[in-house]
Amino acid sequence: MIIFWRLLFGHLLADFTFQFNVVNRWKRSSLWGMLLHCATHPVFYLWFTWPYINEVWVELPGVAGLRGWGCILIVFALHFIEDQWRVFTIFRYRTPDNTLYFLWDQFIHYAVIFLVIPHGGAAELMPETWPVLGCLFVFVTHASTVLIYFIEKDLYDREFPGTQEKYFMMAERLVLAGCMLIPGLAWPALGAAWLGVMYYVRKRRLMDVSWFSLWSGAAVAVLCGLAARMIYY
């Protein structure tokens, strides 16, 4: 599972943190934009799995096994096909670009990663903590921004948040999740106090965010923060 978590962390960074708005728009209108987006993934994959890229990850009956670098190329190719197919169906067949399609797209990517990792024998679920904590960090910040946007778009027909709102809410969630990691017994009180600050900011409309975005983001931050606390301590 070492390789799985490292690949998953790399995927989340490339698919969310480093998929800037300009890249997201470009990939929907140009193959070059799609190639740029998809090429970001193997950069992180190679960075995180460099010590293992010459090892055999997948045994194929009757033929030589697939080494790490070959598996990364396969993940890159399938990621390109999946993302290009999603864009094609949205624009050609008017497939709804909604929460369900977003979750299905992510499921396909995770399934492909799972297929190319080494299997067999007893494996510890989380042999390393840093990539798992990294995954939680990305989900609290950028990934939850996208997920909450899709849900709000489906429910309330809202637009993607502007830059100021986006990063303000990311910072709020990150601080709340960070409260869960404070050692000792003070973290519940600090978390509750920060929730109060978030509520006050919204109630006084110091930042124009929806109540749904506030409370759903807070729930994500608390869950990810508690998970990180269990893993870290």
Q: For residue 119, name the pLDDT band (cuts at 50, 70, 90).
A: confident
Average pLDDT over residues 220-224: 98
- Alpha-carbon span 88 to 77, nearest angstrom: 16
Residues 14, 113, single domain; the answer is: yes
pLDDT at 120: 67
Torsion sign over Cα 17, 147, 150, 15: positive
- pLDDT at residue 121, as a whole number: 60
Q: Can you give the pLDDT at residue 105?
A: 97
Two structure tokens written together for 95: 């497939």
What is the maximum alpha-carbon separation in the chain?
Answer: 67
Structural domain that includes position 85: 2-126
Q: How many domains does the chain contain in total?
A: 2
**106, HSE (Cβ side, Cα atoms, 13 Å):** 16
In a domain, 66, yes or no: yes
Within a domain: 213: yes
- Taking the whole predicted model, whether its pTM rises above 0.75 is answered as yes
- Do 113 and 29 sit in the same domain of this protein? yes
φ, ψ for residue 125, nearest 5 deg: -65, -45
Question: Is 205 part of any domain?
Answer: yes
